[in-house]
Structure 1
Amino acid sequence: MFRHVVLLLLLSLSFGKIFGQKVDSTSLDSTKRYIQIIYAKKAKYGKGKDSAAQKLIGEVKLKHNEVILTCDSAYFYQRTNSIKAFSNVRLNQADTLFLTGNRINYSGETKIAEVIGNVKLEDPTTYLECKHLYFYREQNKGSYYTGGRLFSKGSPDTLSSTQATYYSEDKIAIFRKNVVLKNPEYVMETDTMKYSTEIKQSYFYGPTTITSDSNTIYCNAGWYNTETNKSSFYNRAIISSPEQKLEGDSLYYDRNTGLGKAFGNIVITDTINNFMVTGERAFSYNEGDSSIIPSRPLLYHFMGKDTLLVSSDTVYTKQVNDSNKQVFAFHNVLFHKSDVQGKCDTIIFDERFQRLDMIDSPILWSDKNQITGDKISLFVKEEVIDRLFIPKNAFIGEQVDGEIFNQIKGKNLTAFFKDGDIYKVEIRGNGESIYHALEEGVDSLGKAINILAGVNQAICSDMDIRMQDSEITEINFITSPKSTLHPPTKILDEKLVLKNFTWHGEVRPESKKVVKARGNRVIKFNDPIVSPQIPLIIPQEKAQEETEENKKGEQ
């Protein structure tokens, strides 16, 4: 003990002239404070390149402003007011920030500490680890350029990158190059990220991928709060799972509730059930179990080499079991497929039964035939239409020529398809028909034409109709038929039609272009399409200074 007291007295005498001398204000800033030696077991002058330094050995303790630095040994350079500290180095800044490492080079003039080897930085919200760190006391920030990791206290998040700058006062970290955020529920990878250790929120800039067990998210900019699991993604974002993919100009996602919102040029793709929906906004619930597209939707159902294209005011999808969905298109429905076209208020496609129901004033066209009823159900088999069923007020019409139509009606109707065409129709209950008989003939120029021979008007409870190339070739009256054959003159004069028959050819969507045109109409809605820009803000930092540090890191 006596020896330590003597040593401290000698150090005080040795350094007394330096610390007690008057400072020339022309050469040094009089507001700067010098590094103070608090304690060391031994002290001696260095050798060689360190001959101008005092070598301090054993339980070394130094102070500069509110910083306390301890280590096993150090070189103290009085002239430059700097230190080289070695082994078990620990820097304590006002008991709020702690910095440890194998070595520290510290300048009292610039207040910059270079920490080398097993570097650890800790403050109330953060742990940081790396091999080499520059700590700038004036800005209260630390930067590494050769790889490191950051841990946010109270959070399972771990962030790693090639380069980073951590602003302790603002609780903000800026990561660059090979940035990875690991959370027990997902992994986020990007090139540039800003992370708040206080609110546990990350902001990413450039291509970003977030991978979890349930889905993968891709975007070019956005933010993610790892504490609330709420996020927003911009510049064309995609959320994909094995069953579904949702993409849009901007997306909002709440991982806790499974709620997703998409705005601007949205596309929802069901990879299992061969559906795709496009529109201007969409809402997805329960991690994609159900979705609603309330504006400008176009629904694509891929059926083998053909596609059923549907436009409506709203599309809604609902998961009914692990592999099947129900798809609803509401209001002002118009659709086109190569072999059938339709118009109604609502359609429902149930994948469990491979059935498409047309509801509320449905009209279906198949080649030359128009089919109507209270409800029309289409049954799909091996991705092609196999049959259709109308339970009530069934009506089928075939345009013969101009205003002349073959007509069949009944209580219910079943039609069977082959190679995209109707080949058989069964009418059951209250059957009625008007059939125009044609004969081959020639006109005045000798050209072959069909000549109307007469019209057969029949009433029969049940009928079977055979068709070929979408034309009626045979009608079989099954139960107590009553029929009348009218001459051509009567038909031309009265144009016989069954009650409630109307031809709707003018509203038939003749091509997919017609359906797309309706789907692309402008619809106004209250919710704005939000695509905010997120500036990469570096707290209390000049761009020039940050650029210089980046250059240092590249060297």
Structure 2
Amino acid sequence: MNKTLLMKFFLFFLLLPVLLIAQTNDNTIRVVGDSLVGRNINGKIIREVYNHVVITQGDVVITCDKAIQYISDNNVELIGNVIIKQDSITIETSRGFYFGDDKKTSTDEPLKLYDGEMTLSANMGKYSFDNHNAFFKNNVRLTDSSTTLTSDSLSYFKDSKRMIAMGNVKIVDSTNTIYSDSLNYFKTNKNTIADLNVKLISKTDNTIVFGGHLENYPSRNYTIVSNNPLLMQIDTTVQKANGNKFGQTKIDTLLISGKYLEAYRDSLDMYKVRDSVKILRGDFASVNYKTLYYRKDKTLIITLNKKTNEQPVMWYENTQITGDSINIKIKDNKIDLMFVNKNVFVISQNEDYKNRFDQTSGDSLNSYFEDGKLIKTNIYGDVLSIYYQYDNGKKNGLSKSSSKLTTIYFDNNMAQEIRLYGTPNTEFYPERLVEGKEDDFALPKYVPFKKRPIKSDLLKKTNFKKNN
């Protein structure tokens, strides 16, 4: 056999499938194109196919400008305008590899994956056509009809329509923006589970929620946050200044922390915070077991722990109030009404004499405010009170009283007049009988003055500083 004939015979078998191997099993990669060049490099047969390249393996169809097929490895390098399709999945990139034995593709170039209304893009990624899952990395962005998600990396599971995003995660929909270190997103029902450094921003009520773990269920209009959750609502108030209609803008921030925070965005439009709850807003603060915050009605309901009967504690300026439940109505971002029910105890500390506390106990309490300032308080039912007296700032004994109703009128948040109704009785004790014996005059239901929460207490266990 002459040399020329031998060469032709060799090329015939090299290019026999003209356009690739004629086997019938589904593992075969078939490549066609306008031209083909065969090579034998170190004993491995390589085919280069140019222009209008079409590659098929089972239900996977690939088009590109150039393909380099490694016959023995059953792999193909894809170059130029790469488009890969399988069922509803379409992947586009400029360059990549297709691995026939594993039925996978990967690329270190920017790529996009389309699946119905969803588009997923990144700087690099891979996809398994058997398992129907993808892993995308660097500058990941996912969009669908109502949601945009960005992250450092993302795993996509087509069959379960689930995504797991990791690193600098941000997901935005029509009502919320959520940040976290990791996030599970379920495409069908839009449910979201986020972990570590979680931050949720509500676009409807200027509210931000921080925490370590978040679960959001849009179809139920329900969200729960745990691991040191903190609710922050920032409001602006315009204070009128001597007839100036513009006045001065004041920023009021409501902070509520606890172990669990639940948001109901249905007709209730309510936040529920429970277990070790702390509240802070301006001169108002509270420590309690459970708080309900109705956003539309601007109402706070604070209740006791029914298991331990531990009462909620509330502070307003230098006054501490306890009772079985406390209801607060807010108007124009300021306290407007306050109702305290059952086993009420009010204690106020003197700013100059720290061991002297005015005290009042009763069955219930109603307080009325005007432009955020306390103007009147009614205390009902077997009311007992002690008030320390002062003369030009100097100690001057105390008065002890009892009644069925006590009404206190305030000016600039300071008590100016006290009225007793229903078999009132008052006793006065001069200073010489009071000095050093203040504890002897404490009322029977005396509740010690406790340390009120401060802003740093609420922020130190959250990721507030990191995210702001």
Quickly name the TM-score band, shorter chain normalised: 0.7 to 0.9
1:395 aligns with 2:345: yes
- Structure-1 separation of matches of 2:90 and 2:68: 21
Partner residue in 2 for 1:431: 383
State the TM-score, normalized to the length of structure 2: 0.84
SS of equivalent to 1:120: strand
SS of equivalent to 1:91: coil
Amino acid at match of 2:358: N
Contact 1:232-1:252 within 8 A present in 2 as well: yes
- Structure-2 separation of matches of 1:299 and 1:165: 48
Residues 496/102 of structure 1: CA separation in 2 closer, same or farther (3 Å cut)? same
Question: How far is the alpha carbon of 1:457 from its aligned partner?
Answer: 2.9
Larger of the two Rg values belongs to structure: 1
1:273 aligns with 2:200: no
Amino acid at match of 1:383: N
Partner residue in 1 for 2:447: 502
Partner residue in 2 for 1:190: 122
Amino acid at match of 1:502: V
- Offset from partner CA, 1:510-548 (integer Å, 9 cap, x none): x2113334668xxxxxxxxxxxxxxxxxxxxxxxxxxxx
Identity percentage of aligned residues: 21
Q: Which of 124, 130, 134 is matched with 2:64 structurally?
A: 130
- Offset from partner CA, 1:221-266 (integer Å, 9 cap, x none): 1211122112211122122222222222222223335443322222
1:381 aligns with 2:331: yes
Q: Which of 316, 320, 338 is matched with 2:266 structurally?
A: 320
Contact 2:210-2:462 within 8 A present in 1 as well: no
- Structure-2 separation of matches of 1:242 and 1:259: 14
Partner residue in 2 for 1:17: 2
Q: Which runs of 5+ in 2 are unaligned?
A: 237-250, 305-310, 464-468
Amino acid at match of 1:514: D
Q: Which of 2, 8, 17 is matched with 1:68 structurally?
A: 17
Question: How far is the alpha carbon of 1:93 from its aligned partner?
Answer: 4.4
Contact 1:125-1:197 within 8 A present in 2 as well: no
Question: How far is the alpha carbon of 1:471 from its aligned partner?
Answer: 2.5
SS of equivalent to 1:236: strand
Question: How far is the alpha carbon of 1:98 from its aligned partner?
Answer: 2.5
1:18-167 alignment to 2 at 5 Å? 18=3, 34-36=10-12, 63-64=13-14, 68-69=17-18, 90-95=19-24, 96-107=28-39, 111-152=45-86, 155-167=87-99
1:432-447 alignment to 2 at 5 Å? 432-440=384-392
How large is the Cα RMSD of the aligned pairs?
2.8
- Structure-1 separation of matches of 2:96 and 2:388: 84
Amino acid at match of 2:297: F
- Structure-1 separation of matches of 2:323 and 2:99: 71
- Structure-2 separation of matches of 1:288 and 1:265: 24
Q: Which moved more, 1:205-214 or 1:473-482?
A: 473-482
Question: How far is the alpha carbon of 1:475 from its aligned partner?
Answer: 1.6
Contact 2:361-2:445 within 8 A present in 1 as well: no
Residues 172/141 of structure 1: CA separation in 2 closer, same or farther (3 Å cut)? same
Q: Which of 144, 150, 154 is matched with 1:218 structurally?
A: 150
Q: Which of 294, 316, 319 is matched with 1:366 structurally?
A: 316
- Structure-1 separation of matches of 2:457 and 2:286: 12
Aligned pair count? 434
Residues 437/393 of structure 1: CA separation in 2 closer, same or farther (3 Å cut)? same
- Structure-2 separation of matches of 1:399 and 1:143: 80
Residues 334/198 of structure 1: CA separation in 2 closer, same or farther (3 Å cut)? same
Contact 2:321-2:345 within 8 A present in 1 as well: yes
State the TM-score, normalized to the length of structure 1: 0.71
SS of equivalent to 2:443: coil
Partner residue in 2 for 1:81: none
Contact 2:395-2:431 within 8 A present in 1 as well: no
Q: Which moved more, 1:95-104 or 1:164-173?
A: 95-104
Question: How far is the alpha carbon of 1:316 from its aligned partner?
Answer: 2.4
- Structure-2 separation of matches of 1:342 and 1:375: 12
Partner residue in 2 for 1:515: 458
Contact 1:378-1:385 within 8 A present in 2 as well: yes
- Structure-1 separation of matches of 2:50 and 2:336: 75
Question: How far is the alpha carbon of 1:374 from its aligned partner?
Answer: 0.4
Q: Which of 393, 413, 423 is matched with 1:470 structurally?
A: 413
1:205 aligns with 2:181: no
Question: How far is the alpha carbon of 1:108 from its aligned partner?
Answer: 5.9
Contact 1:130-1:147 within 8 A present in 2 as well: yes
Residues 179/287 of structure 1: CA separation in 2 closer, same or farther (3 Å cut)? farther
Q: Which of 337, 354, 363 is matched with 2:281 structurally?
A: 337
SS of equivalent to 2:198: strand
1:310 aligns with 2:256: yes
Residues 287/266 of structure 1: CA separation in 2 closer, same or farther (3 Å cut)? farther
Amino acid at match of 2:430: P
Question: How far is the alpha carbon of 1:428 from its aligned partner?
Answer: 3.6
- Offset from partner CA, 1:356-415 (integer Å, 9 cap, x none): 222211111111111111011222223333222212222222113333222233322222
- Structure-1 separation of matches of 2:164 and 2:366: 50
Contact 1:128-1:151 within 8 A present in 2 as well: yes
- Structure-2 separation of matches of 1:457 and 1:241: 60
Partner residue in 2 for 1:415: 367
- Structure-1 separation of matches of 2:105 and 2:398: 86
Q: Which moved more, 1:258-267 or 1:223-232?
A: 258-267
SS of equivalent to 1:412: strand
- Structure-2 separation of matches of 1:233 and 1:483: 69
1:233-244 alignment to 2 at 5 Å? 233-244=165-176
Question: How far is the alpha carbon of 1:129 from its aligned partner?
Answer: 1.6
- Offset from partner CA, 1:125-172 (integer Å, 9 cap, x none): 4111223333332332223332221112xx311111122221122111
Q: Which runs of 5+ in 1 are unaligned?
A: 1-15, 24-31, 37-62, 70-89, 441-448, 521-555
Question: How far is the alpha carbon of 1:209 from its aligned partner?
Answer: 0.8
- Structure-1 separation of matches of 2:74 and 2:219: 42
SS of equivalent to 1:162: strand
- Structure-1 separation of matches of 2:219 and 2:406: 50
Question: How far is the alpha carbon of 1:420 from its aligned partner?
Answer: 4.4
Write 1 or 2 for the structure with the bigger share of strand.
Answer: 2
Amino acid at match of 1:229: K
Question: How far is the alpha carbon of 1:19 from its aligned partner?
Answer: 7.4
- Structure-1 separation of matches of 2:452 and 2:30: 76
Residues 465/476 of structure 1: CA separation in 2 closer, same or farther (3 Å cut)? same
Amino acid at match of 1:487: P
- Structure-1 separation of matches of 2:39 and 2:47: 7
Contact 2:190-2:218 within 8 A present in 1 as well: yes
SS of equivalent to 1:35: helix
